[in-house]
Structures are given as structure tokens and as C-alpha cells.
A and B are shown apart, each in its own frame.
Chain A
Amino acid sequence: MPTEAFVFDAVRTPRGRGRDSGALHGIKPISLVIGLVGELRRRHPGLDPAAIDDVVLGVVTPVGDQGGDLARTAALAAGLPDTVTGVQINRLSASGLEAVNLAAAKVRSGWENLVLAGGVESMSRVPAGADGSAWANDPETNLATGFVPQGIGADLLATAGGLTRDDVDAYATRSRTRASAAWAGGYFARSVVPVLDRAGLPVLDRDEQVRPGTTPDSLAGLPPSFARIGRDGGFDAVALQRYHWVERVEHVHTAGNSAGVVDGAALVIVGSEAAGRAAGLTPRARVVAAAVSGADPTIMLTGSSPATRKVLTAAHLTVDDLDLVEVDEVFAAVPLRFMHDLRIEADRVNVNGGAIAMGHPPGAAGAMILGTLLDELERRKLRHGLVTLSAGAGMGVATILERL
């Protein structure tokens, strides 16, 4: 039997608006990570930093402030011993969850015992796409694979699945209502660690873009985000060349029903039972199984469905065994398609809202919603939870946790 991997704790920063007016724009991405490392050490004084084998961080745009292996740099800057290494990984939008899964795999292999995993993205400081991309920017590759931006894929996903603007706006309204209620109820209190400045003064303690009072009517007036690039940039045509039975792409996604660009970080302690015992840590959950799967890159954001089927098989569980689900909300069509594919009802999916309400920092998002899931499993005293994210280029990642 392999060593089991456990989650001992999960923390995150609040999410700041990802523009220069955002609260976290003046805070460096490395500082967000250092703040979370410090919080974990304060919470768990028995944790010997020398026992940490590695720091695994998802960073989707690893250039500039986020370049040069931010994970190792953050470990050093946070004052962890020289023996604690760091690795930066990129599985696009699913990077934060991929980091946790990689940490769990390291632990289950028996080769490492205690790993800090999570991710960071300061989108206000390092814009998405700043790292280049052969898929998008190399014409030979772009032509051969039919690259389209995510938003076009999401609009195609909605069109091909018969989802209307009303459908996606209704979903977005629910996400926002649930997020506001969860904040009001204090359901994120255990995970969210306020960001402080160097003098210890508060910078941000709440997800900056959460606003109570969103109604479908207030969303209905927003203009579609991708109509113009779809038409003038040629991307609608590329999408339809593959989805040839669709006459045209209906651009239903707007700023109101897709995830906001935000800044934020998350960190999870993953380790073996023995390592936890030595550090005086109580396991909160067991990582039951994890999986990845590719899917069509043009429609792009359907990967969470095959990844979930795969992880359920690996865990010897069925959809009915899942008490709660966290699925990414980069665009409203994504969770709607996922729920349709897996036949999961909305009452156990993203029960505290999601990225449409709170934002999606790609490097960190997966680790953030893993913490959200864990908190809610504990609050409701439920057993099995699924975290899954679709990612760019047609990928999906899924993880099943068992609350202990």
C-alpha cells in the first residue's frame, strides 16, 4: 500500500481586482506567498520548517515578478531553511490544483513527506499571455491546431450546448448570491488570511469584487466580451471550421458571467500521516485520488468532465458518492456543461459561489477552491468532495477529498 497523502491545512489570500486600481496591485506576488507561509507557521508552531521537502507553486505567467522559479525564491525569502526547494508548475487554469496533486503524488510515492503546495497569480502586475505561447503565437502551430482564445471556446461551448444568454446570466446570478451569502455567513473565515503591508497594516481582507445585490437584470445589459475578437480576429471562423454543424457562435459571455481577472495566492499543507504526527498536525482530509485528462482544445473548457470520470474510477466512487463539488467558473458555460455531463444537480455544486463572483487567479485558483471545499465539508459534516477545473488548450484536472 502506498503512503496516504493528507491535507493538514489550506489558506488563501483574499482576491484583489486584477487592475492597477486593485487593492493588491502594490503587493508583489512573492509577498502574497510569503504572507501565507508565515500564517501557516503561526498556526502550526510545531511544524519544523526543516521537515518541509518542497514548495510546489502554480504560476501560469512565470515571467517578470513571477519568473525565475518563484517557488524557490519565495521559500528563501520566507526564511525557510536552505534545504527547502521550490518548483513552479504550469497547467494553465488548473495549476493550483495540479500543484496539490503533485504534492500528494510525491507523498504517496514515499519519496517526500511534507510539501507546501498552491499557487499565485498577480494578474494586475503580470498580464496573462505575457509569457508568450507557441500555441497562440507560432503560426505553423496555431494553424495546425486551430487555436482560439478561451472566451471563444466558452461561447462555442454555450452555443453547441444550447445555452442561452439567459441561462448563463442566471447561473452567474446564483454564483454571486451564494458568494455574498457565504461571506456574510463567515464561511471563508478559516481559509482567508488578510493581506497586510510591511508595517502590519491591513491591505485587503475580503474578496474585492464580491458585491451583494446582483440580479439577472443587472447582468443582462452587459455587452458580450468576445463578439468583436471572434469576428475581426477570425476566431469564430476557426471555431466553426471544427464545429462545422454549428452555423454561428453566439457570444453569450460577458464580464458579468465570467470570472474576473484578480490577484491572489493559496497554500496547502500536504503530507504523510507520519510527517503530520511529527509536526503535531491534525489531518483534515485524505486525498483519495487525482486525475488529469485532455479534451478538445477548440471548445477548450470541457476537460473537467473526463477528468472527473477518471478520478471517480480511480477512487472506486460514483457521482452519487460526491457530497459537494467545486468546479471552476472561468465562464458560466463551464459549470453548466459539467453538471450536464456528469448529471450533478446544482445544490451540491459551488454552494458558496465561485470565480464568477470572486475571481480566478489561474496559478492559485485550484488550491483556493480546494480549501473552500474542505471548509464546507467540515461545516456540513459531509464526507466526499470533488474539486475539478478545466484548463486552457483542452485539459482537465480533478481531485477527490475525504473529510476526516
Chain B
Amino acid sequence: MNAIRWQQDPDGVVVLTFDDPSRSANTVDDTYATAMEGVLDRLEAARDRISGVVLTSGKRTFFAGADLDRLVRAIPAQADEIMVSVTRVKTQLRRLETFGRPIVAALGGSALGGGLEIALACHHRIAVADPAIEIGLPEVTLGLLPGGGGVVRTVRLLGLSTALTEVLLRGQRHRPARALEIGLVHELVGTRDDLVPRARDWIAANPDVTQPWDSTGYRVPGGTPSSPALAAVLPTFPATLRAQLKGAPYPAPRHILAAAVEGAQVDLDTAFTIESRYFVDLACGQISKNMIQAFFVDLPAARSDRGLVTDRPPTGRIAVRGTGTTAAAITGLLTTAGIDVVLKDGPDEADAVVNTSSDRVPTATEDTVELRFPPPLARMPLVEVVRGEATSDGALARALATIRPLRRTPIVVTGGRGSFTGRLLRARIAEGMAMLTDGVAPASVEQASGQAGYSLPLLVLLDEIGLARHRADDVLERMTEEFGRTGRAGGAGFYDYADDVRGRLWPGLEEHFGQGRRADVPFTGPLADLIERLLVSEAIEAVRCLTDGLLTSVGDANLGSILGTGYPGWTGGALQYVTGYQAMGYQTTGYPSGPAGFAARARELAERYGERFAPPPAVVALAESGGGFTLRST
């Protein structure tokens, strides 16, 4: 069966319907490319009898995008193969837009990634005004760039500035109304049924049409890098990007910016080639693999029903134990999501219990799970679902169903061994405090956090959580007991606050904790060490959690770290960081990649900063076997 259905009507309009019978959503894979090849041959052979073409979809979505199952496995040795396939897709779309008849994209469902790239090769884009439809190029969120002409065409359609900020660099998923405002689509219709008739009308009214960039006198909106007005602000584009990324090593937005700017300086075909080169580099690199695994594979798996069946209908109720501010905040969270909250001690009649009281007695039973919410509540979109030794699969399934309206990603951990995210965060906090007592400037601790890619700088995070929570640490104990600095809520922490607005780092930090440091000599040791001390300390703790049996799913561990402690997304999570280890960017070279590289780097950190960095046996075993953390189960 063909992935593209052909239907020609007496008015000469050909309606092409993407409907790959082998998949639930249309994908830019070999099946598509082969079908497209056939369609283009047929169109060109019958050009005289064709008045226009409408592209539409037989699926719920218009088109899903790239073949990520393939890209997640791409290695540098396959660069030529990836180059060939991405070039083929582009060449076909170029044939389509220069076919010589009006081409209309009729978007009855979401067009993301490759789907929007196909639509961008059409002369006219019509979408249904349904707010559930998403339109955008979210490749960047998976460590990739739109390699099917999406960078080149959005720049030429919208101008560099709009294409970069509204579409490419953050990968926004726009509703149709917003896509219309930006200029990604040309018009909206009320229903799916209106699409093809409207497309026919447009074709009839616009028999001779070319893409803007193929028209005489075309200029890139807003100018090219050689236009003085744009050249004057161009240096701020990379700087702003570095500021937004806080220096974290995300290659995709960097490559997107480069491909967009370089492409705007040359002709269309050369621009396509430049885009492909940057795409292949990303596709074959480690970071796109990490991000695809975490956000395309593990995330939907964690949010799914995990193949579990409820033993009886959920009560839809959650019991909250404790009376403090945390209990109140969590209660607010649950009730806002429409979940019934019972404020009593017994777990009876509830699917899950939240225990914020200080007893920390495990509350999971055969019938009920415990829920833990990593702090700060508003910043960590995760919930730890703790099952006891005796908790049944049916009870777990009930709890998962009950918390679904929270729209927080659940990870499943085993009770009695502490909180997964709590253990990771404690490891990172201990490392950050060790840096302060080593004499590292507090600003360097914050920079290391940002440049590692953490969602919040460590000292900001501690101030938000409150220092009293982790008083086992010497620095934190002195901060709270001796200096009365308990965090943001207390009006003073690592930072000074005025009217709840964070000011500067507390000057006393260096005076009281940086004893090893001479005031006139800034810390000049390698920043890469600071960055990796944070990342590695947390990764080692994640390995220990897995070894201890605190959780069994590698995917849950990875998501738990990203969504529950703010571990950098580019790593794919704290365990994937070990599996896909690469030494930090430009600063350190000469390490092997993967677990062997991680083990070597951990040993080096152990020599410099302490035995806590010695790679755990599980990592040493992987380093020797050459494998990675890939085990997965509920």
C-alpha cells in the first residue's frame, strides 16, 4: 500500500492524502520518501492535466515529523547516509514547490517538525482553527534542527529575527491562531471539511504562483547579515542565546542560529546544503540521542498507564498528612487539579498518601502508594510514586490514574529507601557546599550550575527550598543557626533579599566559608571541574539508587533527575549522562566517551577533590563491558 493516496478531480486538482498504513502517524521515513518520489514523477508526467495540488492527511495529525527511531541510533560513521536521506527529502520538497502549479497544504491536524516543513514547501497553508492543533518546528527540544528545509524556509518567509525567536530557537508549538499571526500559515477555516474546498478555491484564484523566494525582486524580510541595520544587531543574537542557555552545552540552538544566519547570506540551494550539514552534525551527535531518549521515548512511557490494570475503580482521593506549609501547598496543588483531598491520618479510602509530617514513616501499603513532591513545588513538574514491598500492581495503577489530572510526570520508586530526587539533590548540595569551603567563589558555584545546564543555580535553589531542610550539612547548619539565614522565605539566605526580591550574593559567604581562599586571588581552577563535580556527584548517587533497588526503571531515574532536581535536559538524565558521557565541550579533551569516559573522569575528580567521586562498581562494570544503563521496567 502507498503512504500517499492520489485523487484527481475533473477540475484538475490533485488531492494527495498522507496516510501511511504501517504507522499511526505519518513520518518522514523511507516509506514516505519512496511514496513522494512516485507522486512527484506522476505529477510531473501529468503536469498539463493538473491545475493544482492539495496536501492533506488521513490521520488525526497532519504529519508527525522525523523518523526519530532511526535518528536515535545514528552514529558519526553514518554521516554520509544521513546526509543522503536528508538531502533526498529536501530535493523532493524543492521539486514540489517548483512543480509549476499552485500547491496548498490543508492542515486538519497538528503539523510539527517534518510535517510543517512539508507545508512550508507549499505556496499556501490553510489550517483548521482548532486550538488543539499544534504548528511548529520543535526539533530543538530533541537536540535537532529542522533539516527538511525548515530553517531556510522560515528565515526566508518570516525574516531572521522572527524565524529564530518565534519558531526555531525554542521550538514553540503554536495554536493555529498564533501561527496565523506569525505568518506560518496563511488562513484558517472552521472545520476539517472546509479545508479542501477552500484549497480548491485558492488554486482556482491563483493559477500562477511561486514561492516568495522564487519571485523576482524577493528580499529576505528584515534584511540579510549584509544589511547594515541587521549587521549592527547580529552580534547580540549569539550573545542573547548564550545568556538564555546560561552557557549550557546545547548544540541544537547554536547550530540553528548558525544555519539560519549563514543560509541568509547565500542562494537557496547553498542554504539548504548548509542546513543539512548542521543537521547531520546534530543527528550523529550524542546530545540529540540523550534528548530523544528522554523526551520522546521515556517521557511518554512514564506518562502512560505503564501496562498496569487497576484492581478496582480509583477513589479519586488522596490523603495528605501533616499540617505545615508544605502540606498546605500540596493540598492546594491537588485540589486545583480537581483531586479530592482528605486530611486525615489513615490511608483508608484514598488511592495515595502524601506524608509531610516529620515522622517520615513509610505509608505505602498493599492497597495504597505514597506520593512525594520534590521542592520547590512550583519548579519541579514531577511526582514520586512510592510503592511498598506489598503494594499491588492494581493499587499502583489506581494511584497513577488518580494523579493524572495533576499533569505531573510520575516516576515509580520503592519505599523504605528514601526519596530518589531527595538523594540526588542532597548529593549536589553537598558538592556545592564543598566548593564553598574549598574557597570557590559563590558566583562560580552559580555559574557552574548554569553552564552545566541546571534549571536553577544551586544557591538560588537552596534559598527557594529553604536551608533548614538540609541542615545535616555544616555550611547550611552555620547559615541557619549562626547567621539566621534560612532562605528566601526567611528574607535572607545565600542571597540578600529586599521585599522578597533577590539581590546580590551575601558578602559574608566568602568571609565565613571561603577560608581556603585568598581574597585577592580569584578561583582560577578549571570551570569544567566545577561543572562536572555537580553533574558527576548526582550521577553517582543515581547509580547507587539503582543499585540499591530504590527504583528499577532507567527511564524513571533519568526523568526523575531532569524533572525532579533540575538535572540538565541535554544529558538525557543522570544515568544517561553516564551512558552517553562526553567530557565538557572545549575545556577537556582526551577522554573516551560513555561509561569508560565517565569512570576515568570520576577517578580524576576523586584524586583532585575526594574519594566520593570514585566510580561505583556498577559504572566500573559498564566501563569494562562497554554497555550502558538501558534496563527498563515499571
Residue A280 at the chain B interface, CB threshold 8 Å: no
Residue A67 at the chain B interface, CB threshold 8 Å: no
Closest to A232 in B: B236
Interface segment, one of A1-9, A100-108, A140-148? A140-148
B608 to chain A, nearest CB (A): 18
Give per-residue flags for A232-249: 1 if the beta carbon is below 8 A from chain B beta carbons, else 0: 111111101100111110
Interface segment, one of A90-98, A131-139, A166-174, A188-196? A131-139
Interface SS, B side: helix
Q: Are A237 and B254 in contact, CB atoms less than 8 angstroms apart? A: no
Q: Are A246 and B242 in contact, CB atoms less than 8 angstroms apart? A: no
B226 to chain A, nearest CB (A): 8
Q: Are A237 and B243 in contact, CB atoms less than 8 angstroms apart? A: yes
Residue A149 at the chain B interface, CB threshold 8 Å: yes
Q: Are B239 and A142 in contact, CB atoms less than 8 angstroms apart? A: yes
What residues of A have a CB within 8 angstroms of the CB of B523 in the complex? 245
What is the CA–CA distance of A130 and B447 in the complex, to the nearest angstrom? 34
Give per-residue flags for A73-112: 1 if the beta carbon is below 8 A from chain B beta carbons, else 0: 0000000000000000000000000000000000000000
Q: Are A245 and B239 in contact, CB atoms less than 8 angstroms apart? A: no
Cβ-defined partner of A143 (8 Å) among B228, B242, B244, B440: B242
Closest to B230 in A: A137
What residues of B have a CB within 8 angstroms of the CB of A248 in the complex? 504
Interface hits, B216-266 → A, CB 8 Å: 225-226, 228, 231-232, 234-244, 246-247, 254, 257-258, 261-262
Q: Are B232 and A143 in contact, CB atoms less than 8 angstroms apart? A: no
What residues of B have a CB within 8 angstroms of the CB of A133 in the complex? 235
Residue B527 at the chain A interface, CB threshold 8 Å: yes
What residues of A have a CB within 8 angstroms of the CB of B450 in the complex? 241
Interface hits, A243-302 → B, CB 8 Å: 244-248
Give per-residue flags for A148-167: 1 if the beta carbon is below 8 A from chain B beta carbons, else 0: 11000000000010000000
What residues of A have a CB within 8 angstroms of the CB of B14 in the complex? none
Q: Are B246 and A139 in contact, CB atoms less than 8 angstroms apart? A: no
Q: Are B254 and A139 in contact, CB atoms less than 8 angstroms apart? A: yes
What is the CA–CA distance of A245 and B505 in the complex, to the nearest angstrom? 12
Q: Are B240 and A233 in contact, CB atoms less than 8 angstroms apart? A: yes
Cβ-defined partner of A237 (8 Å) among B228, B246, B448, B527: B246
Closest to B523 in A: A245
Closest to B237 in A: A139
Task: Kindly name the residue among B226, B243, B451, B504 whose own CB sees the greatest number of chain A CB atoms within 10 A.
Answer: B243
What is the CA–CA distance of A186 and B125 in the complex, to the nearest angstrom? 74
Residue B441 at the chain A interface, CB threshold 8 Å: yes
Residue A45 at the chain B interface, CB threshold 8 Å: no
What residues of A have a CB within 8 angstroms of the CB of B241 in the complex? 139, 143, 234
A363 to chain B, nearest CB (A): 20
A229 to chain B, nearest CB (A): 7
Q: Are A149 and B235 in contact, CB atoms less than 8 angstroms apart? A: yes
What residues of B have a CB within 8 angstroms of the CB of A147 in the complex? 235, 238-239
Interface hits, B17-53 → A, CB 8 Å: none
Cβ-defined partner of B242 (8 Å) among A137, A149, A241, A245: A241
What is the CA–CA distance of A390 and B505 in the complex, to the nearest angstrom? 33
Cβ-defined partner of B243 (8 Å) among A129, A137, A238: A238
Q: Are A137 and B235 in contact, CB atoms less than 8 angstroms apart? A: yes
What is the CA–CA distance of A133 and B244 in the complex, to the nearest angstrom? 23
Q: A139-B261, A244-B447, A245-B522 are in contact. Are A238 and B239 (CB under 8 A)?
A: yes
What is the CA–CA distance of A110 and B261 in the complex, to the nearest angstrom? 47
What residues of B have a CB within 8 angstroms of the CB of A139 in the complex? 234, 237-238, 241, 254, 257-258, 261-262
Q: Are A143 and B522 in contact, CB atoms less than 8 angstroms apart? A: no
Q: A138-B261, A143-B254 are in contact. Are A244 and B448 (CB under 8 A)?
A: yes
Q: A139-B254, A143-B257 are in contact. Are A240 and B238 (CB under 8 A)?
A: no
Interface hits, B267-316 → A, CB 8 Å: none
Q: Are B448 and A233 in contact, CB atoms less than 8 angstroms apart? A: no
Q: Are A247 and B504 in contact, CB atoms less than 8 angstroms apart? A: yes
Q: Are B235 and A247 in contact, CB atoms less than 8 angstroms apart? A: no
What is the CA–CA distance of A136 and B235 in the complex, to the nearest angstrom? 5
What is the CA–CA distance of A133 and B235 in the complex, to the nearest angstrom? 9
Q: Are A244 and B527 in contact, CB atoms less than 8 angstroms apart? A: yes
Closest to A160 in B: B522
Q: Are A132 and B261 in contact, CB atoms less than 8 angstroms apart? A: no
Closest to A237 in B: B243
What residues of A have a CB within 8 angstroms of the CB of B226 in the complex? 132
Q: A139-B237, A142-B235, A147-B239 are in contact. Are A241 and B247 (CB under 8 A)?
A: yes
Residue B84 at the chain A interface, CB threshold 8 Å: no
Closest to A152 in B: B239
Residue B444 at the chain A interface, CB threshold 8 Å: yes
Closest to B253 in A: A143
Residue B333 at the chain A interface, CB threshold 8 Å: no
What residues of A have a CB within 8 angstroms of the CB of B448 in the complex? 244
B509 to chain A, nearest CB (A): 11
What is the CA–CA distance of A147 and B240 in the complex, to the nearest angstrom? 11
What residues of B have a CB within 8 angstroms of the CB of A240 in the complex? 443, 447
Q: Are B441 and A245 in contact, CB atoms less than 8 angstroms apart? A: yes
Q: A137-B225, A143-B254 are in contact. Are A245 and B243 (CB under 8 A)?
A: no
What is the CA–CA distance of A240 and B246 in the complex, to the nearest angstrom? 10
Q: 12 A-B pairs, CB-CB below 8 angstroms?
A: A137-B225, A143-B238, A143-B258, A160-B522, A233-B236, A233-B240, A234-B239, A244-B451, A245-B441, A245-B522, A245-B523, A247-B442
Given A139-B237, A241-B451: 13 more A-B contacts, CB < 8 Å: A132-B231, A138-B258, A138-B262, A139-B262, A142-B239, A143-B257, A144-B586, A234-B236, A234-B244, A244-B443, A245-B444, A245-B522, A247-B505
5 A-B pairs closest in CB distance: A234-B239, A237-B243, A244-B447, A245-B441, A234-B243
Residues on B lying within 8 angstroms of A by beta carbon are 225-226, 228, 231-232, 234-244, 246-247, 254, 257-258, 261-262, 440-444, 447-448, 450-451, 504-505, 522-523, 527, 530, 586
